[in-house]
Copies of this chain bind each other. A is one copy, B any other.
Amino acid sequence: MSVDLSDIKREFTKFLKRKNMKVTQSRLNLIDLIAKYGKHFEVEELVNWIATQGDRSVSRSTIYRTIKLLQEFGVIKEVIKQNNRTIYEFVAGKAHHDHLVCMECGKIIEFVNEDIEKLQDEVCKEYDFQPTHHRLEIFGVCSECRNSDLT
């Protein structure tokens, strides 16, 4: 793990105080739990997994509420919106990246392309649009699935 969770929790504490919100165990625990989960997740999946983690458990409502805060804080992003599913990622300490999504096996491939980012900035300038965030999803079929499809 490239990022120090203590740092994140310390910054999140400041973030909460700035907003005059309370620094609760649930809120801090959820950071640990999501980091421990360690992969892309859907909320329901996370809720169920957290239920298996003994103590430090956090309820569904609080998970939903805290995920919103963590998105605002910036350590979590909705990276894939497919059908009616939302897949989140813990992005703390990671460079911005986008995703290839295999529609057969569900695999998610992350990629970084600075040129695409630059071109987006140009588009925004052209329309005098101030971007806050973006999401690029490329859906298709990964090479493994194509190769195993030779049935």
A residues near B, CB below 8 A? 81, 100, 102-103, 109, 111, 113, 115-116, 119-120, 123-124, 126-143, 146
Contact = CB atoms under 8 A, between A and B. Distances in A.
A137 B138 contact: no
A134 to B, nearest CB: 4
A15 B44 CA distance: 37
A137 B141 CA distance: 21
Contacts of A138: 120, 123-124, 129, 131, 134
A139 B133 contact: yes
Contacts of A146: 130
B141 A124 contact: no
A138 B103 CA distance: 23
Contact of A136 (B109, B129, B135): B135
A138 B119 CA distance: 12
A136 B116 CA distance: 11
A130 B140 CA distance: 5
